Amino acid sequence: MAMYRLFPDTHPRMEALQIELLRNAPAWRKLEMVGEMNATVRLLALSRLKSRFPNDSPEKLHRQLADLLLGEELASKVYGSLDNDGDAA
């Protein structure tokens, strides 16, 4: 029976080892890895915002990040709306 390949650029034995290690990892470690991935996604998104809007304040960038992560409607309810300049109200 052929195993479905998740990562075509990874040697099949190494991929099988990675999958085995993930399957055998305790629940706390899996949750820790998810938290680390979420932090990485936030950092990458914030870095992208900084590169697109280099003159924006940290507060404005974080408010824009909230729009990306929560959606504009929920971010506006939680953090307030952005005015025409994009600053938090």
When pLDDT is cut at 50, 70 and 90, the band that residue 3 belongs to is: low
Mean of the per-residue pLDDT values for the chain?
89
Please provide the DSSP assignment of the chain as one string.
-PPPPS-TTS-HHHHHHHHHHHHHS-HHHHHHHHHHHHHHHHHHHHHHHHHH-TTS-HHHHHHHHHHHHH-HHHHHHHH--B-TTS-B-
The pLDDT of 59-87, averaged and rounded, is 86
Each residue of 18-61: pLDDT tens digit?
999 999 999 999 999 999 999 999 999 999 999 999 999 999 99
